[in-house]
């Protein structure tokens, strides 16, 4: 079956109400705390599978603690031309260039309202419904309107809103990850969220939806640092690391590796983990990170927790393994934690505390300032000393020039007529020119 056709069939099957259910209870060791709420496990589903909110109930029934609908765009759009999904079976990976195919806000909003009406939100429900917001292709690259519209429409109906600025399949979208434009975007999103009416915490986990930003794995260390600053300054609640990659690791074996689009699955894991570790070191412990990229086993998930992720998301492993993937991964996580005699929450708490950024104390700032001042004074002293030596050397050069260029003395013999004055065969040069020549020969800065 064509990969995209198989994808659509799976969504329809899960939406039918006749899909399998995971009836097992999550082990207590899997419990995790996020923004003050307890979830039964850290294993969620990333955006991209249920793009239009058709199979929310079916996905929760498989045991995911976090189901993320989308990406959803304001206007309906077809996305990129087909074919646009490619399996790399030899690499257990996928390349997609979907380009945000979406039925649009109106249809997805209707589905979400129906879902909330039949599944009343509860502050104690051990799961999170998230919605991933995307931009229409027809929208201006630097426009924030699509995101702000999405916040206003969907904020009252979901637990979490995800701002997707990292898909590689929409032209110009990743440019929104630059510090200045991202800080402005996220600040506007937070203002739009804060303007929403408060919800009852007897019914909802939080008075207002949490805001999370999803970033790419193809960022430099400086770009990740800039994103961290934008996140801290804007007041965003969390970060998902990461989206698909545009890189093609040399380890890929499939002939489909040449296809354009975002690569997901095990090959992206090293890139995502590196980005996550860098980001964790520049964010305070109060801002959680959700890890997403190449997680196909329990050991993968725990590796993300060791790197400072609070939750993890599956996508490609779910596409390959099917409905049993979340239970399998959770059981493997449980076994790994049991072998280490610990729990998920303990692993996360330890790694986040150890790896997160901490604001410096006043005494540390004073010491840093002292060190910077001392270094500046030392450098200034060196320059002053070197400058004085140059001045003295130049003076000596100037004094030496008349001696070097003086004509040779000629002493006449007794009785001879006085010899004519000796002449220098070289053309006459000014003193300044001679100084410059000497400076150049000595490798000194030239005089002006």
297-344 per-position pLDDT tens digit? 999 999 999 999 999 999 999 999 999 999 999 999 999 999 999 999
d(CA 25, CA 39): 12
Residue among 357, 334, 358 at smallest CA distance from 347: 334
Residues near 110 by beta carbon (within 8 Å), at least 6 away in sequence: none
Written as six digits, the tokens of 107 are: 């249809």
Per-residue pLDDT, 425: 47
pLDDT mean across residues, the chain: 89
Per-residue pLDDT, 98: 97
Between 411 and 64, the more confident residue is 64
Q: What is the pTM of this model?
A: 0.81
Q: Are 94 and 86 in contact (CB under 8 A)?
A: yes
Residue in this structure with the two tokens 């729990």, named with its chain if needed: 343
Question: Of 55-69, 184-198, 405-419, which gets the smallest average pLDDT?
Answer: 405-419
Percent residues over pLDDT 70 in the chain: 83
**430-435: average pLDDT:** 63
Per-residue pLDDT, 361: 72
d(CA 206, CA 303): 29
Maximum distance among all alpha carbons in the chain? 134
Decide if pLDDT at 417 tops 70. Answer: no
**424-444: average pLDDT:** 61
Per-residue pLDDT, 420: 53
Question: Of 44-48, 180-184, 299-303, 309-313, which gets the smallest average pLDDT?
Answer: 180-184
pLDDT tens for each residue of 57-90: 999 999 999 999 999 999 999 999 999 999 999 9
Q: Are 126 and 40 in contact (CB under 8 A)?
A: yes
Residues near 138 by beta carbon (within 8 Å), at least 6 away in sequence: 75, 77
- Using CA atoms, how far residue 243 sits from 207, 218, 392, 425, in Å, is 28, 9, 62, 77
Per-residue pLDDT, 409: 46
Map the chain to HEC letters: CCHHHHHHHHHHHHHCCCCCCCCCCCCHHHCEEECCEEECCCEEECCCCCCCCCCHHHHHCCCCCEEEEEEECCCCECCCCCCCEEEEHHHCEEEECCCCCECCHHHHHHHHHHHHHHCCCCCCCCCEEEEEECCCCCCCCCCCHHHHHHHHHHHHHCCEEEEECCCCCCCCHHHHHCHHHHHHHHHHHHHHHHCCCCCCCCCCCCCCCEEEEEECCCCCHHHHHHHHHHHHHHCCCEEEECCCECCCCCCCCCHHHHCCCEEECHHHHHHHHHHHHHHHCCCCCCCCEEEECCCCCHHHHHHHHHCCCCEEEECHHHHHHHHHHHHHHHHHHHHHHHHHCCCHHHHHHHHHHHHCCCCCCHHHHHHHHHHHHHHHHHHHHHHHHHHHHHHHHHHHHHHHHHHHHCCCCCCCCCCCCCCCCCCCCCCCCCHHHHHHHHHHHHCCCCCC
Percent residues over pLDDT 90 in the chain: 74
Per-residue pLDDT, 307: 98
Residues near 27 by beta carbon (within 8 Å), at least 6 away in sequence: 330, 334
Question: Of 197-206, 242-251, 365-374, 430-439, which gets the smallest average pLDDT?
Answer: 430-439
Per-residue pLDDT, 370: 73
Q: Are 187 and 195 in contact (CB under 8 A)?
A: no
Per-residue pLDDT, 279: 98
- Using CA atoms, how far residue 144 sits from 164, 176, 183, 375, in Å, is 12, 10, 12, 44
Per-residue pLDDT, 54: 98
**117-121: average pLDDT:** 88
Between 412 and 382, the more confident residue is 382
**428-447: average pLDDT:** 63
Per-residue pLDDT, 427: 54
* 40 flagged as catalytic: no
Q: Are 422 and 410 in contact (CB under 8 A)?
A: yes
Catalytic residue, chosen from 41, 65, 166, 167, is 167
Using 50, 70 and 90 to split pLDDT, how confident is the model at 125? confident
Decide if pLDDT at 232 tops 80. Answer: yes
Decide if pLDDT at 147 tops 80. Answer: yes
Decide if pLDDT at 21 tops 80. Answer: yes
pLDDT tens for each residue of 251-270: 999 999 999 999 999 999 99
Q: What's the angle, vertex CA 362, arms to CA 360 and CA 364, rounded to 5?
A: 60
Per-residue pLDDT, 435: 60
Decide if pLDDT at 175 tops 60. Answer: yes
Between 276 and 386, the more confident residue is 276
Q: How far is CA 16 from the centre of its chain?
A: 36
């Amino acid at each position: 079956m064509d990969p995209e056709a198989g994808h659509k069939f799976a969504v329809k099957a899960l939406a039918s109400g006749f899909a399998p259910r995971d009836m097992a209870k999550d082990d207590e060791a899997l419990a995790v705390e996020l923004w003050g709420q307890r979830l039964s496990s850290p294993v969620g589903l990333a955006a991209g599978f249920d793009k239009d909110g058709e199979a929310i109930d079916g996905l929760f029934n498989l045991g995911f603690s976090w189901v993320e609908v989308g990406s959803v765009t304001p206007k309906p759009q077809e996305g990129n031309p087909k074919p646009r999904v490619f399996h790399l079976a030899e690499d257990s990976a996928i390349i997609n260039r979907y380009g945000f195919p979406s039925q649009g806000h109106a249809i997805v909003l209707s589905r979400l309202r129906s879902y909330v009406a039949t599944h009343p939100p509860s502050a104690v429900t051990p799961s999170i419904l998230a919605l991933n917001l995307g931009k229409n292709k027809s929208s201006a690259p630097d426009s924030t309107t699509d995101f702000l519209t999405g916040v206003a429409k969907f904020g009252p109906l979901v637990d979490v809103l995800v701002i997707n600025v990292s898909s590689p399949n929409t032209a110009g979208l990743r440019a929104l990850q630059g510090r200045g434009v991202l800080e402005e975007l996220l600040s506007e999103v937070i203002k739009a969220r804060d303007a929403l009416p408060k919800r009852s915490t007897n019914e909802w986990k939080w008075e207002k939806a949490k805001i999370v930003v999803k970033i790419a794995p193809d960022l430099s260390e400086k770009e990740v640092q800039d994103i961290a600053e934008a996140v801290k300054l804007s007041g965003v609640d969390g970060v998902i690391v990461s989206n698909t990659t545009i890189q093609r690791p040399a380890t890929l074996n499939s002939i489909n590796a040449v296809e354009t689009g975002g690569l997901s699955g095990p090959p992206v894991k090293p890139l995502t983990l590196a980005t996550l570790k860098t980001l964790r070191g520049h964010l305070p412990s109060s801002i959680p990170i959700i890890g997403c990229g190449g997680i196909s086993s329990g050991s993968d998930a725990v590796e993300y927790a060791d790197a400072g992720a609070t939750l993890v998301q599956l996508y490609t492993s779910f596409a390959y393994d099917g409905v049993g993937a979340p239970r399998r991964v959770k059981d493997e996580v449980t076994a790994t934690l049991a072998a280490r005699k610990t729990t998920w929450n303990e692993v996360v708490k330890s790694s986040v505390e150890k790896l997160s950024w901490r604001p410096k104390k006043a005494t540390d700032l004073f010491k840093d300032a002292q060190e910077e001042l001392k270094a500046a004074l030392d450098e200034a002293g060196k320059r002053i000393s070197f400058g004085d030596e140059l001045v003295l050397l130049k003076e000596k050069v100037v004094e030496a020039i008349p001696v070097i260029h003086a004509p040779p003395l000629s002493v006449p013999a007794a009785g001879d007529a006085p010899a004519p004055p000796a002449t220098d065969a070289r053309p006459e040069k000014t003193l300044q020119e001679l100084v410059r020549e000497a400076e150049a020969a000595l490798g000194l800065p030239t005089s002006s």
